[in-house]
Amino acid sequence: MTRNLRALFLTVLLGFPVLPAMGASDPVFAARKAAEDLQSATRSLRDARIAKDRVAALSDAVRAYEDGLRAMRESLRKAAVREQALRLHFERSRDRLSRLLGVLQTLQRASTPLLLIHPSGPLGTARSGQVLSEITPALHAEAEELRTQLEELSLLQGLQQTALDDLQAGLDGVQTARVALNAAITERTDLPMRLGASPDALQMLAAGALTLEGFARGLADLPFDGDAPELPPFSQSKGTVPLPVFGTLLRGYNEADAAGLRRPGLIISAPPVALVKAPLAATIRYLGPFLDYGNVIILEPELGYLIILAGLGQVYGEVGQILSTGDPIGLMSGNDPSAEDFLVDTTDGVGEIRQETLYIEIRQGRKTVDPGDWFALKNR
């Protein structure tokens, strides 16, 4: 009987796989940290209303909300993966769990003297006691591991409702911040200006251009009047220029897409309505709709260079304004997802939240150059 008892316990213990723990549920802690970041963004928005430079403060508040929402989305995605892993683990281990629970219930119901008594006499009884002393701690350890995983599963399930409230507050906050930023930019009058060519000539050029390349070439031949501002040399900024929007590189310079189409620029995937900033100090040469590119803004960081950003839903500023690095220049296309969309996208993985694309082109004189040489893409 002692041999059978030992075999039973070993079968339960050795046949029960242990799912690696995640530091008391890292996704839950990450979601709580994201919620704190969203609350911090709310405080930033409140302070921005009375800041001396409201445009800069509100831009920071919008980015803070975007960062918090992105962190919340990522934590929910990890939580969904972890929850699925736990569920599959329990499903695959159902029989072994039943045996483990059965053994634990047997040990709990039977008194220690009865478990130790053996029909073969004192020697068998001693051996039974030795087996129990070896096996019982391991059984309790397995039971404790099971309890921990069940508690983690409960935390992950409860996270969704809490996250729904936090997501809704964050989405409401970022919309409010964008409205305030639009108003602050409209009221801004302190940006230095350069005298440009005739507005009529610029509009005629845009209206008559059949391609973005043709428009950019014509724009290069339509210089501003007067001297260019003294800005840091763009030609010396290779590899250090930040992307104008937080996003992911989809296609590089002259890289073919699924249809075989090649474009002389970068295509960046970014969240809808994300804030787009000036990647460095520059003069606005053009902004507005152009062909099927959506809204386009063209910046001149240095005489002889143009940075073209296409695909925006909204653009800020006016031709001739001299921007500083990080000044807001527009918003991506699209609409904010609902809080429910966030949950569906992260828990079911069906990709309900559509990403927008920003096209970035750099021209030196009348030719395009690889923007990847300038932008810090390795950190994305």
Burial 60-93 (b: 16+ CB within 10 A, else e): bbbbbbbbbbebbbebbbbbbebbeebeeeeeeb
Region of 100 please: left (phi>0), alpha (psi -120 to 50) or beta.
Answer: alpha
pLDDT, mean over the chain: 79
Structure tokens at 5: 């008892």
Could you tell me if 354 and 272 are in contact, meaning their C-beta atoms sit under 8 angstroms apart? yes
Is the confidence at residue 307, as pLDDT, over 50? yes
More confident residue, 361 or 27: 361
CA–CA distance from 271 to each of 108, 254, 327, 335 (Å)?
55, 23, 19, 9
Q: Is residue 225 part of a domain?
A: yes
Q: Is residue 192 part of a domain?
A: no
Of 123, 153, 187, which closes a domain?
187
More confident residue, 300 or 21: 300
Of 187, 207, 228, which closes a domain?
187
Q: How confident is the model at residue 330 (pLDDT cuts 50, 70, 90)?
A: very high
Q: How many domains does the chain have?
A: 2
Is the confidence at residue 377, as pLDDT, over 90? no
* Model-wide pTM > 0.85: no
* Residue percentage of the chain with pLDDT more than 90: 34
Of 138, 166, 187, which closes a domain?
187
Q: What is the mean pLDDT of residues 275-304?
A: 92
Q: How confident is the model at residue 153 (pLDDT cuts 50, 70, 90)?
A: confident
The answer on 123 and 88 residing in a single domain is yes
The answer on 122 and 214 residing in a single domain is no
The answer on 250 and 222 residing in a single domain is yes
Other Cβ atoms less than 10 A from the Cβ of 347: the count is: 17
The answer on 142 and 224 residing in a single domain is no
The answer on 21 and 67 residing in a single domain is yes
Q: Which domain holds residue 319?
A: 199-373
pLDDT per residue over 161-207, tens digit each?
Answer: 788 888 889 999 999 999 999 999 988 877 887 766 677 788 888 88
> Dmax over Cα atoms in the chain, in whole Å?
110
Q: Is residue 378 part of a domain?
A: no
Q: Is residue 18 part of a domain?
A: yes
The answer on 205 and 176 residing in a single domain is no
Say how many residues make up the chain.
380
Report the CATH number that the domain containing residue 242 is assigned in CATH.
2.70.70.10
Q: What is the mean pLDDT of residues 291-316?
A: 93
Give the pLDDT score at 139. 59
Is the confidence at residue 314, as pLDDT, over 70? yes
Give the pLDDT score at 77. 84
